[in-house]
């Protein structure tokens, strides 16, 4: 069955046959595979783009010796505060950084864990 035949049958209100259901399932599986592949490529590209920024963040925090807010890190690595915050959150999830807050509404302060120094 071709896509055109399938779509025409749907538009014409034809009763769904086993062949139509199988074609629909196969088409959905192909779409899913394409989306997974695309998603993996985007993630790989983003990781390559982020690697130098992550290295700069880690170097900055190691040289500073104390924590820094995403805003301070952003200025140092010359990215937006949102980008710095996202990268720091990723590093925190991976255990590369820890964060703390002086007060409830204060910005997070990111630092290299003391056991990793």
Q: How many CA atoms lie within 13 A of 54 on its CB side?
A: 16
Question: What is residue 1's predicted lDDT score, i.e. its pLDDT?
Answer: 86
Regions of the chain short of the pLDDT cut 50: 116-117
CA dihedral 36→44→91→57, nearest 10 degrees, is -160
DSSP calls for 23-74: HHHHHHHHHHHHHHHHHHHHHHHHHHHHHHHHHHHHHHHHHH-S-EEHHHHH
Residue 117 confidence (pLDDT): 43
* pLDDT value for 115: 64
Where do the structural domains in the chain lie, given as residue ranges? 3-10+17-116
Does domain 3-10+17-116 fall under CATH 1.10.10.10? My reply is: yes
pLDDT for position 105: 87
């Amino acid at each position: 069955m071709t896509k055109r035949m399938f779509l025409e049958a749907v538009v014409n209100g034809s009763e769904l046959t086993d062949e139509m259901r199988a074609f629909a399932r196969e088409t959905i599986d192909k779409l899913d595979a394409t989306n997974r592949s695309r998603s993996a490529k985007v993630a790989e590209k983003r990781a390559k783009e982020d690697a130098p920024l992550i290295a700069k963040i880690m170097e900055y925090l190691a040289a500073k010796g104390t924590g820094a807010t995403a805003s301070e890190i952003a200025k140092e690595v010359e990215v937006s505060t949102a980008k710095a915050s996202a990268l720091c959150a990723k590093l925190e999830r991976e255990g590369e950084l820890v964060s703390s807050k002086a007060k409830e509404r204060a910005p997070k302060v990111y630092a290299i864990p003391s056991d990793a120094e």
